[in-house]
């Protein structure tokens, strides 16, 4: 009863509709399995009982044959129908007291009146030394209520509880593994899409960014990890691959419920976007200046032609130093 109460409490706990449907499907499947097994068991047991009672009936009639006044062509005797019918009724009364599903309807063609028509009439034969005696009988069919029991329901509740508990444990274990994989190790930059922020593992504070610089920086890191020889110049258009990556991160933010705004143009106002990114990184690495260079988009040095040769790609980025959460 404690297991059933626990299962009911689990089912009543507020959970997403999808989970409740899964729980209901698990219970229904297990109940159907046990119910089918129960029906097969009831049918087999009924068949065994029928054979047992029929054997007892044949044995009883064989013992009582000397007292029965049946027709015997060999000895040219005629049957006493009234005594045979009385014997059948007495025999059926005894069978009914023993909850027998089998009842006798006739012996050697002499039938009780009226013969029940709800069941089919069957015949078996008793062989004696001088003749073959036909015994008519009927078997009560199983009713719908015979197949209904609380046992399959109780077993289904217990098994459903065990299965659902195992599913929840597996889900929690998977969640723990994901969180463990996403947990930043020492000296790693965490790009958290769930909170739309940047964190350095040794720093207790995280810096939140607006949509455009956040998505562009996440895409820039991804782009430079994929292509360590990338050459990105302020004076050139932003590569289409980089823009597509930034769009991907923006759509991911929408999925996480951060924004419903129009997708920004990641190819416009590049200097402003990079400036916002650098400002956030300056704040994050305020106490780790020697480690900032790895994650910091380089600034242009000088003016004129030297400035045009400037590359803001993260050429030294190390994939093991980056952790994405919610990617």
For helices 240-255 and 211-226, the axis angle rounded to 10 degrees is 130
CA distance linking residue 128 with residue 136, whole number of Å: 17
Q: 136 and 195 in one domain?
A: no
CA distance linking residue 257 with residue 251, whole number of Å: 10
Q: Give residue 85's domain range.
A: 2-146
Q: pLDDT tens-digit profile of 201-224? A: 766 678 888 889 999 999 999 988
Rounded to two decimals, the pTM is 0.45
Share of the chain above pLDDT 90, in %: 16
Strands 102-107 and 110-111: antiparallel
**Number of domains making up the chain:** 2
CA distance linking residue 31 with residue 200, whole number of Å: 52
Instruction: Determine the pLDDT at residue 40.
Output: 93
State whether the Cα torsion 6-10-12-13 is positive or negative: positive
Q: pLDDT tens-digit profile of 90-103? A: 999 999 999 899 99
Higher pLDDT, 40 or 128: 40
CA distance linking residue 129 with residue 159, whole number of Å: 58
Q: 201 and 110 in one domain?
A: no
* Domain-embedded: residue 152: no
Q: 195 and 104 in one domain?
A: no
* Domain-embedded: residue 292: yes
Q: Is the pLDDT of residue 184 over 60?
A: no
Instruction: Determine the pLDDT at residue 304.
Output: 45
């Amino acid at each position: 009863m404690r297991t059933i109460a626990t299962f009911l409490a689990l089912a009543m706990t507020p959970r997403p509709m999808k989970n409740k449907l899964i729980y209901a499907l698990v219970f229904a499947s297990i109940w159907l399995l046990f119910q089918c097994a129960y029906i097969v068991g009831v049918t087999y047991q009924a068949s065994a009982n029928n054979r047992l009672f029929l054997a007892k009936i044949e044995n009883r009639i064989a013992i009582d044959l000397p007292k029965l006044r049946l027709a015997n062509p060999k000895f040219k005797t005629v049957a006493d129908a009234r005594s045979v019918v009385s014997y059948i009724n007495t025999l059926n009364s005894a069978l009914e007291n023993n909850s027998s599903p089998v009842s006798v309807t006739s012996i050697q063609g002499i039938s009780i009146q009226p013969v029940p028509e709800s069941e089919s009439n069957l015949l078996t034969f008793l062989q004696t030394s001088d003749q073959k005696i036909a015994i008519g009988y009927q078997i009560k069919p199983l009713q719908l209520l015979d197949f209904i029991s609380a046992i399959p329901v109780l077993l289904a509740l217990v098994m459903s509880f065990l299965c659902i508990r195992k599913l929840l444990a597996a889900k929690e274990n998977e969640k723990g593994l994901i969180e463990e994989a996403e947990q930043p190790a020492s000296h790693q930059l965490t790009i958290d899409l769930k909170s739309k922020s940047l964190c350095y593992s040794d720093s207790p504070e995280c810096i939140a960014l607006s949509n455009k610089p956040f998505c562009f920086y996440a895409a820039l890191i991804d782009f430079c990890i994929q292509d360590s020889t990338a050459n990105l110049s302020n004076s050139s258009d932003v590569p289409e691959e980089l823009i597509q990556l930034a769009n991907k991160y923006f759509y991911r933010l929408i999925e996480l419920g951060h924004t419903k705004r129009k997708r920004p143009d990641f190819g416009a106002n590049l200097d402003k976007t990079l400036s916002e990114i650098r400002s956030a990184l300056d704040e994050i690495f305020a106490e780790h200046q020697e480690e900032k260079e790895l994650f910091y988009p380089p600034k242009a040095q000088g003016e004129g032609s030297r400035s045009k040769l400037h590359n803001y790609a993260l050429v030294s980025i190390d994939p093991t130093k980056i952790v994405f959460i919610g990617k």
